[in-house]
Amino acid sequence: MQALSSLSIFPLSSLARHKYYDTPGKQLLLNFIQNFLGVEIIGFQSRFGYGSDLILFRAPNGSTLAVDCNLMLLSREQALLIVQAKLQTNAAAF
């Protein structure tokens, strides 16, 4: 399967195989978020108006972890620290 991004260097995200993430614009956004956070994004989860939505990502051990979408408003360094803390907490628990 070819990448949907207009830039052929980006591989097709596993999330893009789902019908809701199959357009070039959505794929480009997913690629940006994955590169910004340094993790594989597997989806989004709504909080139905009770806080910001969640970005779901996969830990190396296969667990699904989540961070607030508001994380994207921080600097990349701050966002990476939060994601790394989540990953370390998860690794310590397993």
Q: Report whether 43 contacts 29 (CB < 8 A).
A: no
Model pLDDT for residues 1-23, shown as the tens digit of each residue: 344 444 444 454 555 455 555 67
**pLDDT: is 71 or 6 the higher one?**
71
Helices (H) and strands (E) in the chain, counts: 2, 3
Model pLDDT for residues 19-50, shown as the tens digit of each residue: 555 678 888 888 899 999 999 888 889 999 89
The full set of domain ranges for the chain reads: 14-93
pTM here is 0.73
Residue 30 CB coordination number (10 Å): 24
Please return the burial class of 59, using the count of CB atoms within 10 Å of its CB with bins 0-12, 13-18 and 19+: middle
Residue 28 β-bridge partners: none
